[in-house]
Amino acid sequence: QVQLVESGGGLVQAGGSLRLSCAASRRTFTTYNMGWFRQAPGKEREFVAAEASSSTYTYYADSVKGRFTISRDNSNYTAYLQMNSLKSDDTAVYYCAARPSYYSDRDYQRGEKYPYWGQGTQVTVST
């Protein structure tokens, strides 16, 4: 089991940037694929980005492609989501999630395929 703690959320003006961090509790972090999801008020949770444990692949939702970058530092057991050119539509609670690397790569967008979740961090983009 792995525990995840997000940080880095806050209030930012449209066009600005934020970097979210997701600290993992275990050295076995290197055996987990990581994902970021978000949930805006009144909306369902949606996939944002995913990265393999070995960083051999990354995936992004169309809505954030070219603006957000997922990365990880396995030596520090931390995943990151760099968010640039933020828009008001990006306002949401952002969650990091982890799933074992042996899970099917086809499921990277499916939140129910991630057993471990952080508590979430609020991102608010003002216009």
Give me the pLDDT at residue 56, please.
84
**CB-based contacts of 69, cutoff 8 Å, min separation 6:** 49, 80, 81, 82, 84
Q: Left (φ > 0), alpha (ψ -120 to 50) or beta: where does 105 sit?
A: alpha
| Tens-digit pLDDT profile for residues 60-69 | 999 999 999 9
Looking at 18-22, 72-76, 116-120, which range is the least confident one?
A: 72-76
Would you call 88 helix, strand, or coil by DSSP?
helix
State pLDDT tens for residues 52-61.
Answer: 888 789 999 9
